[in-house]
Structure 1
Amino acid sequence: MSLGSSRRSLLTAMGAAAVGISFGGLSGCTKPVSKSINFYNWDTYIGDTTLADFEKVSGVKVKMSIFATNDELFAKIKTGNAGFDVIVPSNDFVTYMSEAGLLLPLDHAKLPNLKNIDPAFMNPPYDPGRKFSVPYTWLVLGIGYRKSAMKDGKVPDSWKWLFDSDQYKGRMALLQEAGDLMRLGAKYLGHSVNGIPDDVLKQVEAMLIKQKPYIKAFHSDDGQDMLLSKEVDIVMEYNGDIAQVMKEDPDLDFIVPKEGSQINSDTLAIPKDAPNPEEAHAFINYMMDAEAGAKIYEKILYPTPNAAAKALMPESYKNNPVIFPSAEVMAKCEYAAFEGPARAQVYDAALTRIKSA
């Protein structure tokens, strides 16, 4: 989908050195393509010209493949020799994958554009010192909805409407990422998204099994498309995804439920067995360039941790409450911690039972 207007890239005019790209002799705009790297990314999560612009300044072609869930990403990388050079794991999966020995420690000397990142994002608990990842976006889960389809014109300001009500039966979709689904069910029941007691998990599972007949789909991070196409009226989705389709349909909106929600951060990382780690570092560094970053965020409409890129963005981005919810709203939201592979398996097993019920 075409979202936003493109800002003219300064890259070809300024040359590679201006954006901090220089590696292995591959720099400048006229270098013929001699290498390619494989980028494993979420859908609708890159600028219109980002990959082509990087090829112009580096001579390296980027081949992008799409995954739908962190579980899918993890399964692909853990098999070994998957062939990917740069991947986009979420915060808890950075911990999961690094503890499993699947990520390459980053060489910060090859990432001078780290200077553009807001210091608040540089030492997260899931990756202290940014040893394995750099921040790409941060995001919050909430409810996307079609305003004209809401009963009595009321805003769906609670997880109840997705988890515990037949009000929108056959017209709702939930995210199928097991951990997110179980944690937000616990949040609705009044618990933290972390350290969920086993009895609460059983309550969440029972609640969702009861709710399943009313759910049209457990979607693979394409809930915004289902909402836009009018397949559903209410959907669990990320703020940036709903911000994208709100530009196309003014009848759509987004809210973080009153119980609070889960904050995620998506990152750029390099698999341990990446075929081209040098070029992977250069690509990650390019993605943190201010101008290149601004073009990405203008397209994908997710909150950016890149302070230099944000400074270039229009007020319609910086002051959009869907992209940047208020401090009051965010105070009720939490990052999900990685609690070990056994816990991840518990979530996966619960979702399997829910979907097969």
Structure 2
Amino acid sequence: MKKLNSLFAGILVIILLLFIGVGQLERASGMAGADTLTIYNWGDYIDPALIKAFEKETGYKVNYETFDSNEAMFTKIQQGGTAYDITIPSEYMIQKMIKEEMLLPIDHSKLKGLENIDERFLNLDFDPSNQYSIPYFWGTLGIIYNDKFINEEEMQEWDDLWRPELKDNLMLIDGAREVIGLSLNSLGCSLNSKDNRELFEASEKLNSLTTNVKAIVADEIKMYMINEESAAAVSFSGEAAEMLDGNEHLHYVIPSQGSNLWFDNIVIPKTAKNVQGAYDFINFMLKPENAAQNAEYIGYSTPNKKAKVLLPEEISEDEQFYPSDETISRLEVYEDLGQEYLGIYNDLFLEFKMYRK
């Protein structure tokens, strides 16, 4: 009997140890639920001090992971594995995630501070009534140029990227929608075109740009432009803001031929383990003082109208980064192209990359 009791005691100890071990594993991997908030975001897309302040204010432990493209984020969430409580996709990807039923509807009764958001950034086509997403940042795609190498009047439109003086002196953002889109806009076409003739013409024109392209890169553009290793580049407004801070000879232009107006919004994936924590984070970021701090740190434009008032005037009144309604009227938001045309855009972009070699 003593041996039997010892056996039972041993089994209980093993079960207890396994239970503790599983709990530790869950906490380490961001799956612990109520005590942990797991955030999946773009790299360098929140002030780290705000994460620490959120943890202190709420008692949550934040697990923070990053992605470098909407498509990578979509695939990882779709595959499962880590149960992310918060992620921050762009508008066309939110549209796709809604179609794929990957998101939880937002319970607006749990929100505090939605009234702080500028009405222009609510109820947009990709998410009517903000049923699934809450605005985080917005911005544009444009041209950064160095006035030591290029005069202002020579770099105002997409067509200027084809100037022979830019030979081997142009950097492009590594994105199919952005690069194919700028060529479409330069031809007077929509950057959401599904017209095969327009796409062919845009591809042909883009291939003629290869002699000017020095590199197709991502975050490295900031360092290269600040260090004056290239005369011009195509990138996003927030990245441009950081470059302009690092070099007084740099300028940002939104071409009048048209460009991308983008929105990144906070969503809650259906696989979330800590839904209450997700709402706590959204409400924390809706506070004007937190949104303003984040905008000043990151450089992108805040949709929070009360936060904008708190920003230094040299930021809030800069039309390069808070463009006028007239400028915005010429811009387009990316739409979900569907699998077929997304594949075509990616193929054309890959062809352009191969054409350079």
The two structures share one fold, judged by TM-score above 0.5: yes
Q: Which amino acid aligns with 1:319?
A: E
Residue equivalent to 1:232: 230
**Residue 285 (structure 1) aligns with:** 283
Unaligned runs of 5+ in 1: 1-33
Partner of 2:5: none
Q: 2:88 & 2:287 partners in 1: Cα distance?
A: 17
Task: Report the Cα distance in structure 1 between the residues aligned to 2:272 and 2:136, rounded to whole angstroms.
Answer: 19
Number of the residue aligned with 1:12:
none
Which whole-Å deviations, capped at 9, do the CAs of 1:90-129 have from their partners, x for residues lacking one?
Answer: 1111101111122222222222221211222221100011
Partner of residue 46, structure 1:
46
Task: Please state which structure has a larger fraction of its residues in helix.
Answer: 2
Distance in 1, Cα, partners of 2:241 & 2:107: 34
Change (3 A) 1:111 1:221: farther
Q: Which runs of 4+ in 1 moved over 6 A?
A: none
CA distance in 1, matches of 2:127, 2:350: 30
CA deviation string 1:203-261 (max 9, x = no partner): 12222223224312222254333311333221111112111221221111100113121
**1:125 and 1:278 mapped to 2: Cα distance?**
27
Q: Distance in 1 between matches of 2:115 and 2:252?
A: 32
Q: Which runs of 5+ in 2 are unaligned?
A: 1-33
| 1:103-122 superposed matches below 5 A | 103-122=103-122
Residue 302 of structure 1: SS of its match in structure 2? coil
Read off the aligned partner of 1:84 and give its amino acid letter. Y
Cα shift at 1:279: 1.1
Q: Deviations over 1:270-302 (max 9, x none)?
A: 222123222122112211111111110111222
Deviation at 1:316, TM superposition (A): 1.5
- CA pair 139-319 structure 1, distance change in 2 beyond 3 A: same
Indicate the SS of the match to 1:247: helix
TM-score norm. by structure 2 comes to 0.84
**Is 2:185 the counterpart of 1:187?**
yes
Measure, in 2, the Cα distance between the counterparts of 1:107 and 1:222: 39
- Equivalence for 1:78: 78
1:303 deviation in Å? 1.6
One-letter code of the match for 1:53? A
Counterpart residue number, 1:93: 93
Amino acid in the other structure paired with 2:117? I
TM-score between both structures, scaled by the size of structure 1:
0.84
Once structures 1 and 2 are overlaid, which stretch shifts more, 84-93 or 61-70? Answer: 61-70
In the alignment, is residue 161 of structure 1 matched against residue 154 of structure 2? no
> Radius of gyration: which is bigger?
2
Q: What does residue 37 of structure 2 align with?
A: 37
Measure, in 2, the Cα distance between the counterparts of 1:42 and 1:207.
31
Partner of residue 170, structure 1: 168
CA contact (8 A) 1:96 1:341 kept: no
Q: Is the 8 A contact 1:69 1:221 kept in 2?
A: no
State the Cα RMSD in Å: 2.0
Cα distance in 1 for partners of 2:308, 2:252 equals 22
Indicate the percent of aligned positions where both proteins have the same amino acid. 30
1:349 aligns with 2:350: no
**What is the match of residue 295 of structure 1?**
293
Decide whether aligned partners of structure 1 residues 211 and 82 sit closer, same or farther in structure 2, where only a CA change above 3 A counts: farther
Q: Which residue of 1 aligns with 2:4?
A: none
Task: Provide the C-alpha distance between the structure 2 equivalents of 1:138 and 1:88, rounded to a whole number of angstroms.
Answer: 12
Question: Equivalent residue for 1:66?
Answer: 66
Deviates more, 1:126-135 or 1:170-179: 170-179
Correspondent of 2:316 among 315, 318, 325: 318
1:89 deviation in Å? 0.7
